[in-house]
Amino acid sequence: MRFGVIKTLVENKLIKSFVDKKLVKDMKLFESKILKDKSFSRLYFIYDTLKENKSLDKETAIYMIDDLVSESKNLKISDKTIEEIVKWTRGLVKENNYTIIDNLIYGDELKPEKKSIAKKQIVESLMKTTIIKESKKVVPLKSMVKIANTTVQKALEELNESDREKVLSVLKSEKTKDSFDSLKESTISKIDSLISESQDELKPILSETKERVEKSEYSKKEYIKLLQLNQGL
């Protein structure tokens, strides 16, 4: 199985976990059984890097691609890790959001031009300017949290009719503003508990989430996001 498929499965699983309010539980499983595989962690970072816009000049982009592709050739995810991922993501459709990167790294014996086309496309992407830049540690788990926390809209779209009605009732409520601070306090309390119980690698991520919650200000959109986060903790 190509790593692009594996990465997509993991991301989709955590999006589903967010919708099902099982995010924290699944992140802990991810951390304890999958993230420990250093080849998985490094490949995850390489794929993230090759998918980003970095405002690089063409020569630097080419050098970076060559270095990362060369490194990836020496990385092998253990069979045990792959088995854990397959078991954990059972039932999800095997999609691939990283076909271009897979074409670059794995190539195609029948269509060798695919590798060259992929390299050209990735070079062009790396040369583009990022609209919003943010500090980012080389920790795949942080990417997972980011994925989960930025898919609220998708989550709402996928809710069943009953849950959607509950959300709409919140949106229409006149008491939402009064309860926002209480919900905020409850969420921060839950995060504090998780920080005290979590391993060191997860603590900076949770602290960052806590800081974002503390800075949040009332709006109906923020209320829904906070409600989803609170229920998922």
Which of 132, 115, 148 has the alpha carbon at shortest distance from 53?
132
With b for 16 or more beta-carbon neighbours within 10 A and e for fewer, the 172-196 pattern comes to eeeebeeebeebbeebbebbeebbe
Who's near 152: CB < 8 A, 6+ residues apart?
Answer: 224, 225, 228
| Tokens, residue 120 | 């050209």
Share of the chain above pLDDT 90, in %: 38
pLDDT of residue 157: 53
Render pLDDT for 96-125 as a digit per residue (tens, 0 to 9): 999 999 999 999 888 889 999 999 999 999
Render pLDDT for 38-87 as a digit per residue (tens, 0 to 9): 999 999 999 999 998 889 999 999 999 999 999 999 999 999 999 999 99
HEC secondary structure over 50-90: HHCCCCCCHHHHHHHHHHHHHHHHCCCCCHHHHHHHHHHCC
Which of 73, 63, 13 has the alpha carbon at shortest distance from 42?
73
Nearest 10 degrees: CA dihedral of 184, 186, 192, 195? -90
E strands, the chain, in order:
none
pLDDT of residue 165: 58
Half-sphere exposure of 68 (CA within 13 A, CB side): 23
Rounded to whole angstroms, how far apart are CA atoms 43 and 55? 22
Mean pLDDT of 157-182: 58
Instruction: Give the global pTM.
Output: 0.58
pLDDT band at 207 (very low <50, low <70, confident <90, very high): confident
Who's near 52: CB < 8 A, 6+ residues apart?
Answer: 125, 126, 130
pLDDT of residue 169: 57
Token pair 């998780």: residue: 194
What letter represents residue 223's amino acid? Y
pLDDT of residue 134: 45
pLDDT of residue 89: 95
Render pLDDT for 132-154 as a digit per residue (tens, 0 to 9): 444 443 344 555 555 444 444 45
The residues spanned by each domain of the chain are 3-127, 151-232
With b for 16 or more beta-carbon neighbours within 10 A and e for fewer, the 15-25 pattern comes to bbbbbeeebbe
